[in-house]
Amino acid sequence: MAEAEVLHNIKFTRARGNTDVATPSTDEHIYSNISYSETQRPGSKQPAASNRRSGVTSERVALLVLSVLLAAAVTALGVTLYENTQTKKSLQKLEDVAKHISGILSGTEPCKVEQPCKPPLVRNETCPRCEDGWEPHGGKCYFFSSVKLTWNESRTQCKSMRGDLVVINSREEQRLLESKVREKMDNFEDMFWIGLTDSENEGEWLWVDDTRLDPSLTFWREGEPNNWNVENPDGQDCVRMGEKDGPKNLKTWFDRSCESPQKSICEKPEKP
Ligand SMILES: [Ca+2]
Ligand SMILES: [Ca+2]
């Protein structure tokens, strides 16, 4: 708002003469012109100043709100950074544990006395005693060979590593091997030799340790063994196992021509 100059006449009155005299006195009037800007008029409303104050107040409120928001953002950022740091620490610990376990299993890292290995990796609070490449379980070491050989060649390979083709003595052992083989198979035909054969007498199944197959502990696939002789006139006298995508009912044994190249499972006891 533009300033407006205002002119005001103000009258001052002064009594003339001696106040002790009874004659009436004559008042002397003095006028004075006083001018001032409307905006400076004492007691007048000052909308411009009020607007400025209002503007300043709004700016302060906005500043206060921004400060609160900034403080909240900084706090949230701090919490996020803290949580990220904790997560990274946890992941690092897990990674260290995984490396330690991997080192123990591969034999590159000795098992420390003050840090005994824990179940289910080992039994009796001791470290696994399998060589590099062998997988421990239940006091035994297993080697899953990816080289495809005849049944006899596979057995020779196992023996060269002071083991033999695997003998399955329990349902629990079959469950373990079925699970391991399922992971390692590339397709439904990609099976593994086990140490079971009827090459001596047809239908008389013997393990490589010369024990007879327990009829209550067999895991033949439906329709097996069938001694199918179209592929080989000698029939099928050796056993391979594996199921890639089929039912998980443990029934994964197939008799097969011993001359057919297959992968294989070797077994030997843990080191004393
Ligand atoms: Ca047979
Ligand atoms: Ca068969």
* Ligand closest in space to the Cα of 226: 2
Confidence label for 124 from pLDDT (cuts 50, 70 and 90): low
Checking if the pLDDT of 39 tops 80, the result is no
- Report the sign of the C-alpha dihedral through residues 200, 206, 207, 210, in that order: negative
CA–centroid distance, residue 223 to ligand 1 (Å):
13
Domains along the chain with CATH numbers = 140-269 (3.10.100.10)
Find the 166 Cα to ligand 2 centroid distance in Å.
19
Which candidate, 254, 172, 167, places its Cα nearest to that of 214? 167
Q: Which residue has the higher pLDDT, 26 or 50?
A: 50
Mean of pLDDT values over 102-110: 54
Q: Which listed ligand is nearest to 237 at the C-alpha?
A: 1
DSSP string computed for the chain:
----EEEEEEEEEEE-S-TTSSSPP-EEEEEEEEEEEGGG-TT---HHHHHHHHHHHHHHHHHHHHHHHHHHHHHHHHHHHHHHHHHHHHHHHHHHHHHHHHHHHHTSSPPPTTS---TTSSSTT------TT-EEETTEEEEEEEEEE-HHHHHHHHHHTT-EE----SHHHHHHHHHHHHHH-SSTT--EEEEEE-SSSTT--EETTSPBPPTTS--BPTT------SS-TT---EEEE--SSS-SSS--EEEE-TTS-EEEEEEEEPP-
More confident residue, 117 or 70: 70
Mean pLDDT calculated for residue range 145-161: 98
Predicted pLDDT of residue 70: 84
Query: In sequence order, which residues have a C-beta less than 8 Å from that of residue 93 and are 6 or more positions away?
Result: none
Task: Name the residue with higher pLDDT: 4 or 107.
Answer: 107
What confidence score (pLDDT) does residue 136 get? 94
Dihedrals φ, ψ of 248, to 5°?
A: -95, 60
Nearest-angstrom CA–CA distance, 220 and 216: 11
Q: What is the mean pLDDT of residues 214-232?
A: 96
**What distance in angstroms lies between residue 198's CA and the mean position of ligand 2's atoms?**
12
- State the residue for tokens 């329709």: 223
Res. 181: pLDDT tops 80: yes
Q: What's the confidence (pLDDT) of residue 203?
A: 97
d(CA 238, ligand 1 centre) in Å: 7
Query: pLDDT averaged over the chain?
Result: 78
Give pLDDT, residue 198.
98
The more confidently predicted of residues 127 and 188 is 188
* Peptide bond between residue 120 and the one before it cis (omega within 30 degrees of 0): yes
User: The tokens of 153 are what?
Assistant: 């060649």
Ligand nearest to the CA of 203: 1
Residues 83-104 have pLDDT tens digits of 776 767 766 765 764 565 465 4
- Alpha carbon of 147 to ligand 1 centroid (Å): 23
Contacts of 26 (CB under 8 A, 6+ apart): 15, 16, 17
Rounded distance from Cα 253 to ligand 2 centre (Å) = 9
Ligand nearest to the CA of residue 220, numbered in listed order: 2
Task: Identify which ligand lies nearest to the alpha carbon of 225.
Answer: 2
- Using the predicted structure, report yes or no on whether residue 30 has a pLDDT greater than 70: no
Q: Taking a C-beta distance cutoff of 8 angstroms, is the pair 182, 244 a contact?
A: yes
Q: State yes or no: pLDDT of 59 exceeds 80.
A: yes
Ligand 1 mean position, distance from CA 208 (Å): 15
Is residue 64 pLDDT above 60, yes or no?
A: yes
What is the identity of the amino acid at 177? L
More confident residue, 87 or 271: 271
Question: Which one is predicted more confidently, 10 or 90?
Answer: 90
What integer pLDDT is reported at residue 24 of this predicted model?
40
User: Can you give the pLDDT at residue 55?
Assistant: 61
Q: Give pLDDT, residue 109.
A: 53
Q: Which residues surround ligand 1, an ion (CB under 5 A)?
A: 198, 227, 235-237
Start-to-end C-alpha separation, the chain: 103
Phi, psi of 196 (to 5 degrees): -125, 130
